[in-house]
Amino acid sequence: MARLKAPQRKEQLLGVATRVFAKYGYDATTTASIASAAGVTEPILYRHFGSKQELFVAIARAVSARTLRHWKELISDIDDPAEQLREIAGQFDDHLHELGDAYRVIHSALTTTRDRKVLNVLREHYRQIEAFFRAIVVSGQKKGVFRSVEVKTVCWHLINTGLGYAVVTQNLAPFETFDAKSAIEFVIRGLKA
Amino acid sequence: MARLKAPQRKEQLLGVATRVFAKYGYDATTTASIASAAGVTEPILYRHFGSKQELFVAIARAVSARTLRHWKELISDIDDPAEQLREIAGQFDDHLHELGDAYRVIHSALTTTRDRKVLNVLREHYRQIEAFFRAIVVSGQKKGVFRSVEVKTVCWHLINTGLGYAVVTQNLAPFETFDAKSAIEFVIRGLKA
């Protein structure tokens, strides 16, 4: 294989690690299998990522960052907080498709691993998603379009909707499940002042 | 180890398998490790369960059955559908504690495995939970206390709330998350006619 420059090699290793973790789960994957799937030796892998944990941390942080960047872009031209939530829900299938393997890795690690560093980065991920939704809900409350419900409860309704939708559509398909847009309409109706 | 009669041995093997699956995940567990943890040989294990899949199917069906029996008992003396949902939410922590390992096994298999028989029994599990909630929501609509929202959307809000609550409290604790009762209050307010 042609020799890649460091940033490209790092990117390639992350992509390969995401696919291998998604296929076998975080716990069952070894750095040896990632190196082999990437066509490099383990010492080369270790030059870029010190451990399996570090690979996971990089994948999870990239998912958090890409998700938040994507959502912020989606809502940047929208004033109405309810419309912001609708826009995110409307694009959720595409987002999930684009980050499919990375979300599989996150959800499989969430339900399976006991690795403390991995669990810490997952806590970080959910805190960031919660903070993003919190800003939308609080802004709606300040504008008087949302009623004064406990914000954490609403944020987690949104997170749970995304989590449930992702794990069910990714893993149980074909399976008749709910539609993400209707789910968000239900939350918005519950929020309306 | 004293020789157990067939039904007791079967029960013991299921308990051990649940613990081992919960600890290592469905995919990473072998029948050899379950037999060894149970203090029996693999041929003895196979006398009761033909395969690892059969053990999983028995565990998942037991979770579905115990959950539905428990919830039906909880609501049997309650007429108001909103109160029925409140009662289930109020007891959810205890229920999760009691079936903790079994729910870990289900959620870890849901996000990780590609085994078709395992995925089929998971579909069965969620269809049963959905049907249980459907009966409550439709009864509330018939009584005129719930508005006419799409029933599937509401059922899955309830399922996703339980799923999200379970995976976050079981795996990310200590972690400041939502409270199951407030989450159900939010759904009930969204449902109120």
- The verdict on residue B164 lying in a domain is yes
- What CATH code is carried by the domain that includes residue A142? 1.10.357.10
Q: Which residues of A touch B (CB under 8 A)?
A: 24-25, 27-28, 104, 107-108, 110-112, 119, 122-123, 126, 149-150, 152-157, 159-161, 163-165, 167-168, 171-172, 175, 177-179, 182-183, 185-187, 189-190
| A2 — pLDDT class (breaks 50, 70, 90) | low
Per-residue pLDDT tens digits for B21-31? 999 888 889 99
Count of structural domains within chain A: 1
Question: What pTM value is reported for the model?
Answer: 0.95
CA B49/CA A171 separation, integer angstroms: 25
Contact between B28 and A28 under an 8 Å Cβ cutoff? The reply is yes
Contact A183 B24 (CB under 8 A): no
Q: Could you tell me if residue A171 is inside a domain?
A: yes
Give pLDDT tens digits for A12-71: 999 999 999 999 888 889 999 999 999 999 999 999 999 999 999 999 999 999 999 999
**Do the domain assignments include residue B20?**
no
Indicate whether A48 belongs to any domain: no
Give the range of the structural domain holding residue B132, as residue numbers without chain letter: 56-191
- Nearest Cβ partner for B156 among A164, A171, A172: A164
- Cβ contacts below 8 Å, chain A against chain B, sum to 124
Confidence of residue B34 (pLDDT cuts 50, 70, 90): very high
Q: Is A137 exposed, middle or buried (0-12, 13-18, 19+ CB in 10 A)?
A: buried
- Rounded to whole angstroms, the Cα distance separating B45 from B28 reads 18
Nearest CA among B8, B114, B144 for reference residue A108: B114
Residue B64 domain-assigned (yes or no): yes
B181 in any annotated domain: yes
Residue A19 located in a structural domain: no
Look at residue B89 and tell me if it is in a domain. Answer: yes
